[in-house]
Structure 1
Amino acid sequence: MYKVFVKDIPIILSTQKNIGKQYTAIPLKFARFKKIIKKINNGKLVYVNLYHKNEEKIEKFLREKLPLVEAAGGLVYNNKKEILFIHRNEKWDLPKGHLDRGETYEDAAKREVEEETGVKDLEVKRFLQKTYHVFRRNGEFLLKVTYWYEMYTEYDGDLKPQKNEGIKKVKWKNFEKTQKALQNSYENIKLLFPKEYLTTHPNDRVPQV
């Protein structure tokens, strides 16, 4: 199953026709992807499932329907089990960015974390997953595919937000603060976290930033 986010609303692409009564199920061969995106942006569509029995065809469909932008980033832990966050566009996010020419996804992820946060001595532990979201640039819809890696560092020096990229803050956050940050984050970012980080008390409120 794939989730392609449009304004934090996921377009589901799956091998199953029936994934829930609330979903509009559309065979992949009949899907008009840009029209679906426009309907979501206009608030006319919320639950949609595009389905095909062959998962490889789903991946191919995604890469053919919109111009592709590839990026890479990191879910970074330190020796206190804190997680590294950036604050940009009034939301908490994880460091990530575009690939340079000839760069591997892993190398791009490490470089972007270093550039956006000032953190050094990163060790890549494992590949996590790819996330997908649609954005608009110069009036054109683009599909961003981000390759995420779990990383570890013992760096305890100063954190330096990359201000020319619009980053206002860089923070290490413990379990409780991570839970609160995720209440003011993006849905595709939440896919990277273990379930316990996404369970908060009903009285918890989004922190002021």
Structure 2
Amino acid sequence: MYKVFVNEKPIIITSSNKDAIFPVFSFKSIVFNEIINKLENTETKGIILISDDLESDWKSFLTNLKMIPAAGGLVLNPKNEILFIYRNGVWDLPKGWIEKGESIENAAIREVEEECGISNLKIINSLITTYHIYFHKGIKLKQTYWFLMTSDDCQGLTPQLEEGITQVSFKNNTETKEALKNTYQNIKLVIDTYKES
């Protein structure tokens, strides 16, 4: 299954439609721009596209979009609190674009360091890859590779103001639940994946 968000509404590309909670279409029958338009301009809360060949249809779906690769981290401190950033009025996890020639892991660590002013980061494992469509000089698909990280550096976290980040803080379980009321669907997916593992 692939899940791509458009304005926080999912396009779910899957081989099964059991328990479908959104309108269901055959992948072969859709017109890409009509699906995007439906999610942008109607009350539709999400769309399920049923695929006969998931990998082939996913590749076909990607041909409609310019892919922007990014990487980020769900960072835990020694108390198992999660590192959040506050940007554009929303709680988020640190992430950013992968630079040319840079490995995904190095990009993830660099972006977390830059956005939060943190050091001593260690990658534990890969968590999940998330996708969301945004509109800037055309239609783009941000593909973000997420890693579980740890750091024992809890001193002097510094938000990267030039990136619009105004707060950086570690949050305990109660504070994390509160932050998740004001975050993106993809961030909920990252945190759910961490909790399930």
Matching residue of 1:68: 67
Query: 1:154 Cα deviation (Å)?
Result: 0.6
- 1:77-106 per-residue CA deviation (whole Å, 9 max, x = no partner) reads 000111100000100000000001011111
Structure 2 segments unaligned to the other structure (5+ residues): none
Say whether the 8 Å CA contact 2:5–2:11 is kept in structure 1.
yes
Say whether the 8 Å CA contact 2:20–2:48 is kept in structure 1.
no
Query: 1:196 Cα deviation (Å)?
Result: 10
Q: CA 1:143 to 1:196, structure 2 compared with 1: closer, same or farther past 3 Å? A: closer
Matching residue of 2:152: 154
Letter in 1 for 2:24: A
Q: Which contiguous aligned blocks of 4+ residues in structure 1 show a shift greater than 6 angstroms?
A: none
Say whether the 8 Å CA contact 1:36–1:45 is kept in structure 2.
no
Say whether the 8 Å CA contact 2:118–2:153 is kept in structure 1.
yes
Matching residue of 2:8: 8
Query: 1:56 Cα deviation (Å)?
Result: 1.1
Say whether the 8 Å CA contact 2:6–2:134 is kept in structure 1.
yes
Rounded Cα–Cα distance in structure 1 between residues aligned with 2:144 and 2:46: 23
- 1:170 is matched with which residue: 157, 168, 171? 168
Higher share in helix = 2
Matching residue of 2:191: 193
Say whether the 8 Å CA contact 2:148–2:194 is kept in structure 1.
no
TM-score (normalised: structure 2): 0.93
Of residues 88-97 and 188-197 in structure 1, the stretch that sits farther from structure 2 once superposed is 188-197
Matching residue of 1:129: 128
Structure 1 segments unaligned to the other structure (5+ residues): 198-209
Query: 1:113 Cα deviation (Å)?
Result: 0.2
- 1:98-125 per-residue CA deviation (whole Å, 9 max, x = no partner) reads 0010111111100000000011010000
Matching residue of 2:110: 111
Matching residue of 1:41: 40
Say whether the 8 Å CA contact 2:66–2:140 is kept in structure 1.
yes
Query: 1:31 Cα deviation (Å)?
Result: 1.8
- SS of match in other structure, 2:153: coil
Matching residue of 1:206: none
Say whether the 8 Å CA contact 1:87–1:169 is kept in structure 2.
yes
* Identical pairs, percent: 42
Rounded Cα–Cα distance in structure 2 between residues aligned with 1:130 and 1:99: 14
Query: 1:61 Cα deviation (Å)?
Result: 2.3
1:57 aligns with 2:56: yes
